Structure formats: C-alpha cells, structure tokens
Structure 1
Amino acid sequence: MKNFLFVTLRIWKYKFLSNCKKVLGNPAVYHPLLLKGNGKISFGKNVQIGVIDSPNYYSHYTYLEARNNESEINIGNNVSINNAFSAVAFSKITIEDNVLIGVNCSIIDNDGHSLQPDKRNDDQPKTASVTIEENVFLGDNVTILKGVTIGKNSVIGNGSIVTKSIPDNSIAAGNPARVIRNL
C-alpha cells in the first residue's frame, strides 16, 4: 500500500504531465520521470530510472527536457540513473553505455540565459553538446555544463562542477572539476 500511494501514483502523475512526443525505448522506472520538450528522448536497453534505497526516492523526480525540435537526449544501454537527476538539452546530450549516475546530478548543454542584461530573455542561449562516454561513473551532486565530454571509464567525484572535458580513464573532482588522478 505504501509503495502504491507514495511511488506508483507519483509515477503515473509524472507520466501524465509529460509532453514529449518523440520518446524511444522503455526504461525501468522506479522513480517519477517527467519527459518534456519538442525534441527527441531515446533510451537504450536496460536503462534504470531511480533507486529505491537511495536519497530523494519519495520526494523528487527525474526531469529530462529536449527543448526544441532539433534537441536530443540519447541514453545508451545498461545505464543506471539515481534519484533527482535532470538533463536539459537545447542541442544534444549523449549518455553512452554502462554509465552510473549518482543522486541529484544535472547535465545542461546551454547557458540557460545570456549574461548580457538586454539579451537575458532571448529564447536561444549559447549551447554546445555534452557527451558522457562509456563506463563513466558520476558521483552524487555532480553538475556537467555545456560543451563537456567525459572520457571513457572516468569517475567524477561528489559535488563536482564539470566545466571542461575530462580525458579517458581519469578521476576528476572539484569546482571546477580537474583531473586528480589517472586510472
């Protein structure tokens, strides 16, 4: 009964509130998932949204937005996304195979708004695609900003803000994130 009241009904609610019409694939949804925008959102095989025994399970949701007609969010195979994840694409966000994403992470491929006061309300902020390559692990509370590629097998430490690309087989952490060790 508890699961039905506090989880299943919320999953149905967010499915009803979703408005993205170009969705491919069927992730395993354990946590509410809101799909928004006019672009394309695709899920590979064995994608998991939400983790039951993890923070924010009963209180948050996962938010994926492919804002414009050309916008894309592509999630590969065997990807596990923990609770309270968000990704907003004006151009393209790619998460390749075998990626693990911690609690409360976010990926954004745009500036959101211009820094110039007279252009702050423009609909087209600067954008650059984001790629998370195969077998990457993002710790909790990681933010990845526009134009970043995280190389294969890399690990991003908890609380990091990634502003520049990280090479393959690296451990990076900090604000801004920097490579602290090679694997």
Structure 2
Amino acid sequence: MNILKKIKVFCFVTLRISKYKLLSDCKQVIGKTKCYHPLLTTGEGKIYFGKNVQIGVISSQYYYSNYTYLEARYPSSEIVIGNDVVINNKFTAVAFSKITIEDKVLIGLNCSIMDNDGHDLHPDKRTSNDVVSSEIYIGENVFISDNVTILKGVRIGKNSVIGNGSIVTRSIPDNVIAAGVPARIIKSIL
C-alpha cells in the first residue's frame, strides 16, 4: 500500500472507527467484531457478537459518511448477533426487548431493525416511556437486501431472502423470497 493510501485510510477510516469506539457507552458488549466501518454501541443492555462478525464493507456506499448503530436500550434489552454475520454500512438495530440475528446472515446497505414503536402511538402518550416492544428473530443464513426495515415481533425463517426496499411487518417462513411494502412472500427458494 502506498503512503498516500495509508494516510487516507488512517485519517478517514481508522480515526473514525476509534472515535465511535470512544463514543460508545454500552458497558456490556460481549465478543469482538471485524470493523471496517465505525460502530457505535449504546444503552444499558447487552450486545453479544459471535465469531467472525464483520461490520462494514469497504467497496460500498456510505463507507466514509455513516456508521453502524446498535442500541440495547434498557438493562433487560439484548442484541444477539451470531457467527459469520456480515453487516453492510449504515445499519441500525434498536432493541427495547431482544433482537436475535443467527449465524451466516447477510445484511445489506442502509437496513434498520427495531423491536419497538419508538413512541406510544396515542397522541396524548407520545412522550411517555410506555412503549410497545416485541422480540425480533432472524434465522440462520438469511439474506436481507439493501434499504430493508424490519419491525417489532417479526420472525424471519432460515435461508429466506428479503428483497430491496422492503418493510417487514409480519413473520416470514423458512426458504422463501419476500419483498414489498409491506413484505409478502413472492416464491419459495427450494
């Protein structure tokens, strides 16, 4: 690697990754990741990483301009990421209860997973802390394409594929391709 490239990587990648590591305040992060993109971990809960978890993709959009955000909000909140998971740039996961991502999952660019509504939906209660939350489970070997949003209470079965731009509001069984807003099963893989 030539000297100019080394300087660019240090200034625009290494320092940014270090900055977000310093800004992270989640005290219960278990396991390590291969970070090619900044990762911010926050909240009072637990975040678990399996073996060989990759955060960020060098040759992809948002590499220099964004970061990955993982929040386990409350002491009982958990985000569990299995082995051999690859997460592309600009990923967000917010757990009020629990988000589980099993082994060998591929997550595309600019994806979001939230196991809660964020705020109460009733107009008079929007600033209250009483928010509906329901666990999310993503099965082994799932491929989540770019710009996908997965909402509370969803289970995605093993080997399934979620198409670009989908909003997943209901559970998806094993071995299917689902896409759309809201996501619907398009066809079986096997």
TM-score (norm: length of structure 2): 0.96
2:108 equivalent among 102, 106, 119 = 102
- Structure 1 runs of 4+ aligned residues shifted over 2 Å read none
**Number of residue equivalences:** 183
RMSD between superposed Cα atoms in Å: 0.4
Consecutive unaligned residues of structure 2, counting only runs of 5 or more, are 1-6
The SS at the match of 2:20 is: helix
Partner residue, 1:59: 65
Aligned to 1:115: 121
CA distance in structure 1 between the aligned counterparts of 2:159 and 2:130, rounded to whole angstroms: 33
- CA drift of 1:123 comes to 1.3
| Aligned residue among 79, 87, 90 for 1:81 | 87
- Report 1:142-153 matches (<5 A): 142-153=148-159
Amino acid at match of 2:80: N
Secondary structure of the equivalent of 2:37? coil
Q: 1:168 aligns with which of 159, 165, 174?
A: 174
Distance 1:108 1:118 in 2: 22
Cα deviation, residue 124, structure 1: 2.7
SS in 2 for 1:115: coil
Unaligned runs of 5+ in 1: none
Q: Deviations over 1:136-165 (max 9, x none)?
A: 000000000000000000000000000000
Task: Give CA deviations for 1:110-154 in whole Å, capped at 9, x if unaligned.
Answer: 000111111101113100000000000000000000000000000
Q: Which has the larger radius of gyration?
A: 2
Instruction: Indicate the SS of the match to 1:164.
Output: coil
User: Matches of 2:162 and 2:63 in 1, distance apart?
Assistant: 22
Partner of 2:3: none
Structure 1 segment 133-144 matched on structure 2, within 5 A: 133-144=139-150
Give the secondary-structure state (helix, strand or coil) at the position aligned to 1:12.
helix
Distance 1:167 1:178 in 2: 11
2:13 pairs with 1:7: yes
Note if 1:21 corresponds to 2:27: yes
Amino acid at match of 1:78: D
Task: Please state whether the residue corresponding to 1:94 is helix, strand or coil.
Answer: strand
Letter in structure 1 aligned against 2:162: I
SS in 1 for 2:146: coil
Task: Name the SS of the counterpart of 1:127 in structure 2.
Answer: coil
Cα deviations by residue, 1:27-72 (Å, 9 ceiling, x for unpaired): 1000000000000000000000000000100000000000000000
